[in-house]
Structure 1
Amino acid sequence: MKWYEIFRSGRYEPQGQFTEDDLQQIADNYERDGAAAPIVIGHPKEEQHAYGWVTGVKRVGNKLLASFKDVVPEFAAAVNAGRYKKVSVRLRNTGNGWTLRHVGFLGAAAPAVEGLPPIEFVGNNGAYIELDFSGEERTETGMTHEDWNRRIRQALQREREIVAFVARHEAKLPPAMRKGLAEFMAELSDEQTVEFSEDGERKRLSPYSFFKQFVTELSERGASFSEDAGKSVFQLSANDRIDSERLEIDRKARDFAAQHQCSYEDAVFAVLRT
């Protein structure tokens, strides 16, 4: 059985101090109550849509750990792909002390407990822990469970498309660019767009579409790379060319990202706005 760290002792405002004894109380109450708390998305008013269940809670030193079971495979895949980067543990103060109500996976809220390790169902990606003690039940962005399910399906579909895209083109990319390419593309926005000039025309593309088109041009115009004394050698077919403006934007974006320690996506926005 695998255990995940979900909380630590310490002082939290405005709830106050939580000691190791409080953590032990949560664990004892959970074992005594015998009812499994659900894994949910956001903070639904009624916990009727469970994506998994908490099978156990225990204290180890100043940490509170939980184990899970029956996690829906599609939901686990979405978590591992980084679609839900925080987990909010809702606690309720009853006559017998604190009890665990549910573990809610969130997509945007900032974590209240810093430094906790990510939750990982499988693989290396996971979700950062957030503690939520508010007495008021709320939903994340007011979305329905069908909305969340649709978002999960869309995220998984995009992930499959990215994997297929990389498989088609990676052979003609420099070796240094192949590593982590799918993960990098998954982080690029496909919603926001920026405007730029190409062949005398104004165009609008999202960072995701821009980078995808850039990779496609490198591959489909006959570009190939080989290893030569540890260096990547770039070659083009006769009479072929790569759009110089697009290459220049990419170069400036990479330089900007390295200089300012920001993402490639933010760097593209910055370069195209200058």
Structure 2
Amino acid sequence: MATAQLPPSIEIFRPGRHIDDAGAVHEFSDADVAGMVEAYDPAVREAPLTVGHPAHNLPAYGWVKRVARNAAGRLVVDAHQVEPQFAEMVAAGRFKKRSASFYPPQHPNNPKPGQWYLRHVAFLGAQPPAIAGLKDFADDDAGTVSFSEGEPGPAANPPHPPHQEQSMTQEIKDAQDRAAKAEADAKAALDAKTAAEAEAAAAKAQLAQFAEQARRDRHAGFVSFADDQVKAGRLLPKDKDAAVAVLETLADAQPVKFAEGGATKEVPPAEWLKGLLAAAQPVVSFGEFAPGTAAPTAGSAQGLSDAEIDSRARAYAAQHKVSYAEAVSAVASFTA
């Protein structure tokens, strides 16, 4: 939501015959008003925006940035550094009257002697907003001249009834309380969102950790199974890594369905392959035979380790241009 601002070119004065708030009559020509524009220099003395007159030591709710004349020849001002709450009250019509206060040409505090100089622009018609920490405009109003909109004289800015002041104070307090509650609610919502995101991230990391550990355990199980099949002679040593890789791939596949004995069965592909390998006949028999026992059959390899059998079988297959299985059988026969 955009911060409230005062409109540009706020009219505060015009040439002509005026009666100041003290009842004195003054005549202002076009040249006098033009001199006000020429004299104003915020770098020398910046005129504040006030509620009421500085005689009451009221704070500044903004500052006059520029003084100019509009097409009708009236004195207008542009403001800046305006308190948002004050700007909102002006926009809501809380201050419908304005009073321009000037240093007369010969006033001792006039920063530009010889010309009328804008002292402040007072907004009239409502209780000042309760904004803490605003700079006071402590300036003795003796000898200054103020002109208010509406009827001339002291009655143009009557005191506010006590009930009106209390109502305005309560209204401002309620607005401040609502703003504080909205800020607290927004902070609580942000904290809850941050906590939920952190909890979700922790859960995701833990799930990933569990999944990785499960993958490692599964791989270790497949390796152990393949080792057992090699030792039993149902799997050749050279095929161990391939068997593990195939089991890893099948482990992520959907279960397969097939008919058996008039019933439909469902089995994971990896488990089916493990069962098939475990039930197969040994490809080759490894082991040592004591003297006097029956001679080993073809396909045995007496006294050789798996690595030695594998090495001799590969060499035999390369030399005789036969399959690895035939080479293993031949090596076993020679050894026997």
TM-score > 0.5 by shorter chain:
no
| TM-score interval (norm. to shorter) | 0.3 to 0.5
Higher helix share: 2
Higher strand share: 1
